[in-house]
Amino acid sequence: MKYNTYIFDLDGTLLNTLNDLAASCNYALRTYGLPEHSVDDVRRFVGNGVRLLMTRAIPGGESYPKFEECYACFRQHYLHHNLDTTAPYPGIMEMLGTLLKNGKNVAVVSNKFYQATQDLVHHFFPDIKVAIGERPDIHKKPAPDTVNEALRQLGAERDTAVYIGDSDVDIDTARNSGMPCISVLWGFRDRQFLLEHGATMLVSEPEEILKD
């Protein structure tokens, strides 16, 4: 463990949230009489916040006349159903436990809206004290703002920190934040996609993060 600080993405990295995201997406679409999507469709839509997820899911995106109402419907449903099937990926709890036991700084940054990020991290990972979701006062990933805020709250140095995520957005976030990126292969994007988008360090199991 050569790093002192580990900053994690949430969806597709620590938690498998896909089925709950898809269920809330389709609930909102169904409520407004719009065509629903498969879980694989939703997998392709996620990665840069739930507003963009719904922009991709709704025919016409934000030009749809009732976009804001449909998006609000999704948010409300998801806040009440984000624990229905969501769970940590195998090996995540053990990996995080080892990092914390060894005195490492650990934080979560996500483009998920703030309340959902807080709720999920507090529920599954109560020992992680710094969890930052989408906030109106800071730019979301791939801007470095959320990572910078995590470093500030942790009181941690950038030059001994690493970012861990599962998407191209995470690769860009790490680059924009001036830190290395570990790309995980159990999340929402596959090896080929990650390599095509600049991944340089890939891991297949959470325990491998402890070796970097």
Q: Which two tokens stand for residue 83?
A: 């624990």
Alpha-carbon distance of 62 to 4, in angstroms, equals 42
CA angle 153, 159, 164 (to 5 degrees): 70
Q: Identify whether 9 is a catalytic site residue.
A: yes
Alpha-carbon distance of 163 to 212, in angstroms, equals 11
Alpha-carbon distance of 41 to 63, in angstroms, equals 20
Q: Which two tokens stand for residue 122?
A: 């507090």
Three-state SS at 8: strand
User: What residues pair up with 8 in beta bridges, in sequence order?
Assistant: 108, 164
Among 9, 11, 20, 168, the active-site one is: 9
Residues 6+ apart with CB under 8 A from 178: 144, 158
Supply the DSSP string of 27-86, one letter for each residue: HHHHHTTPPP--HHHHHHH-SS-HHHHHHHHSTTGGGSTTHHHHHHHHHHHHHHHTTSS-
Residues serving a catalytic function are 9
